[in-house]
Structure 1
């Protein structure tokens, strides 16, 4: 005898489900930056919802800064809210005197970017970073903690860890920015980046992440653990990067073979 399994239900409230569907339309490009959302009447028909429920869904998207608009006027998808991150473009060292590639890439896309160095300290890394760097449970590493901004908005929380045998008595331990970025400095120190491996997961934001990134709700963040290897597959850097999951996608590029 066959068994019929009930269809799983979505426990979220209706306005949260409507916001989720519209958010997906925005992130996939079906609702492009600068375009208007369907009218309230069209949304009421599409989702079989009341005017109040539609307005609550739209307010969620406004709070997330995905759309702009006011009551009684068209609601528009905000320009430049969805960004594609290309990790491979940030790995290589830059020429002397040139800015870090992340800043160059942001400028190329027509945005103003800068970073703020929050702290530089010697600390015991989290367990996954400890394992990635090949440290034992008692070893410490140098942490460089910063936050990245685009157009004055916080977009990414970055914690980079370096083994002491690499960082000791170098600019990595100084509480100031590194001109050209750490890929350039690591190359100058004899540890040129050869391979970068990313582990990406979606997580509920921690309290620190929620505050630092000024997140509107408990939407997931994208957490990337990036391990950079030098010659002989030696790990020289492990970085934990956290960004708002509803505003970003990560693009990876692979060659054939």
Structure 2
């Protein structure tokens, strides 16, 4: 499998410049000190300490340092693929706007964490993990409009429920705190998107998972109840029958593989 990360490096403060020309990869630059300029299309962007710019594939660029205060920067190149496009879609970079102002976050330690050049699978995974971590901070500080679409809040809530439904202590408040938006706003978005409440979705998902386990495993009702977030098997059986019109035992008998029930 190809690594997303292609190369990385550091440029000390000197008069090195590049272009005009095009690249086949993305190249993210973070300015540690000094100043410089990025020219792309018909626009020249002045860039200075703490700011970042990215070169887009097949986009003509020319970048050069300020002669009086030449920039010092870290850079990283990554390939032009579907995963890269997904990551960058959540960051406020665009071909006509490839520059972001300084943020409170010092990105230098994150660039240090990115490694490239390894041939072993574990080295490639570490390299890509470092890039994902770095870009996650750019997502945090420079989110695109896509990163804040309404349905993303609902998706985050659903994914959290589906990863944690087995915890008996899981509550609606836990979901709200995870998504980090105002409670009533999330309730409205969730209801509009799914047709049910958060607590209703949690119960439905638990029962759905219980049905799967009843037909694919030999778990006892007690073990099954614990597996889907119920500490009391009797209460679980009551909730299950209300949702399916069957007791767990009746459901297993009716729908298990090899059942002759009609």
TM-score (norm 1): 0.22
Higher RCO (C-alpha 8 Å, min separation 6): 1
Whichever structure has more strand as a proportion of its residues is: 1
Structure (1 or 2) with the greater helix fraction:
2
